[in-house]
């Protein structure tokens, strides 16, 4: 069975961690993940500059529900002043339990801002930045990163050791380089190398799409916890299956009910119009792999209201 993990003074009841995913890991999806038993849920990453300049939209992304603890909020940024400011904001003005810092995001917009995986290019600066953040806040700080910027510059072991030396309390490691983006195969052997090089918890991430993958990554790497990302989009039941340690059958009706629950929670949080705009993409994931679902996915992309979604879900089951 999944085991208890401690990150600083925060105890996770099991080692199943839900990844921070842009456009997905909002309060609605986190509540679903928590209800399915996740040991830790993580917010989608927020910009240090947005918090520094008082963005109300970004501040609204930093609200958490009383039932989702422990919860980690993720920051990205490059400049020490604004990262420290944003860290203090999360520390003092939100109810998050852990402050996570992103050194793994591969998208061009983030790389151009010298943030995300860009920071892996300069271990000395990454260390200085995290030293400043760790000493500015009271909550434990974790870092999510990749194995390196590209295959010629795999430096995750040295970076993990540097981060541990300044007080970072956990490392989540995606077993791909920035250059791989989300393509190719995750190189789990580097997760093992980092696990053997540090004494803080290591969270393995990358290519976990089944309960067997959940067991395999732990067996191969010795990681303390497993972070699941894209494998649960449209199939959050995988969280529950990993927590229970075995694959279970989930009916079409359960998938449709979960999609509806996701939409209604999102509407309660963001309003129906914004929720439906997001669900046009998300709802189609709930149909992934289901028979005769192509036309229903197409209808999801054009829906205008919760009523439209309800009709689509009902029609699929009839």
List residues with catalytic annotation.
105
Q: How far apart are CA 98 and CA 70, in angstroms?
A: 8
List the alpha helices (DSSP H) in 94-210: 108-112, 123-134, 156-165, 189-197
Measured between alpha carbons, how far is 83 from 128 in angstroms, rounded to an integer? Answer: 12
Helix, strand or coil, per DSSP, at residue 283: helix
Q: What is the DSSP secondary structure assignment for residue 154, as one 8-state letter?
A: B
* 265 contacts: CB under 8 Å, gap ≥ 6: 27, 28, 31, 32
How distant is the alpha carbon of residue 183 from its chain centre?
18
* 223: phi then psi, degrees, rounded to nearest 5: -60, 150
Structure-token match 């149909």, residue found: 287
Let me know: does 96 contact 139? Beta carbons within 8 Å. Answer: yes
What are the φ/ψ torsions at residue 11 (nearest 5 degrees)?
Answer: -105, 125
Alpha helices in 55-101 (DSSP H): 56-60, 80-93
The full 3-state SS of 234-274, as one line of letters, equals CCCHHHHHHHHCCCCCCCHHHHHHHHHHHHHHHHHHHCHHH
CB 96, CB 142: distance < 8 Å? no
């Amino acid at each position: 069975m999944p085991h208890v993990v401690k990150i600083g003074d925060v105890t996770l009841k099991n080692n199943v961690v839900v990844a921070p995913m842009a456009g997905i890991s909002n309060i609605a999806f986190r509540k679903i993940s928590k209800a399915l038993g996740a040991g830790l849920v993580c917010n989608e990453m927020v910009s240090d500059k947005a918090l520094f300049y008082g963005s109300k939209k970004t501040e609204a992304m930093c609200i958490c529900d009383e039932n989702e603890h422990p919860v980690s909020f993720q920051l990205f940024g490059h400049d020490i002043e604004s990262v420290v400011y944003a860290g203090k904001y999360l520390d003092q003005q939100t109810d998050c339990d852990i402050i996570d810092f992103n050194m793994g995001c591969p998208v061009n917009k983030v790389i151009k801002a010298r943030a995300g995986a860009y920071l892996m290019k300069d271990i000395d600066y990454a260390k200085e930045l995290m030293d400043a953040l760790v000493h500015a806040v009271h909550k434990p700080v974790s870092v999510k990163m990749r194995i390196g910027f590209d295959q010629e510059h795999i430096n995750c072991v040295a970076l993990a050791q540097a981060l541990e030396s300044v007080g970072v309390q956990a490392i989540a490691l995606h077993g791909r380089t920035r250059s791989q983006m989300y393509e190719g195969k995750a190189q789990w052997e580097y997760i093992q190398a980092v696990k053997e090089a540090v004494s803080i918890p290591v969270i393995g991430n990358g290519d976990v799409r089944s309960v067997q993958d959940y067991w395999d990554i732990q067996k191969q790497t010795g990681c303390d916890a497993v972070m699941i990302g894209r494998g649960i989009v449209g199939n959050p039941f995988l969280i529950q299956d990993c927590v229970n340690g075995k694959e279970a059958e989930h009916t079409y009706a359960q998938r449709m009910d979960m999609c509806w629950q996701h939409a209604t929670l999102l509407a309660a949080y963001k309003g129906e119009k914004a929720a439906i705009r997001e669900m046009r993409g998300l709802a189609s994931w709930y149909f992934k792999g289901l028979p005769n679902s192509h036309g229903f996915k197409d209808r999801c992309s054009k829906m205008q209201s919760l009523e439209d979604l309800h009709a689509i879900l009902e029609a699929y089951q009839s």
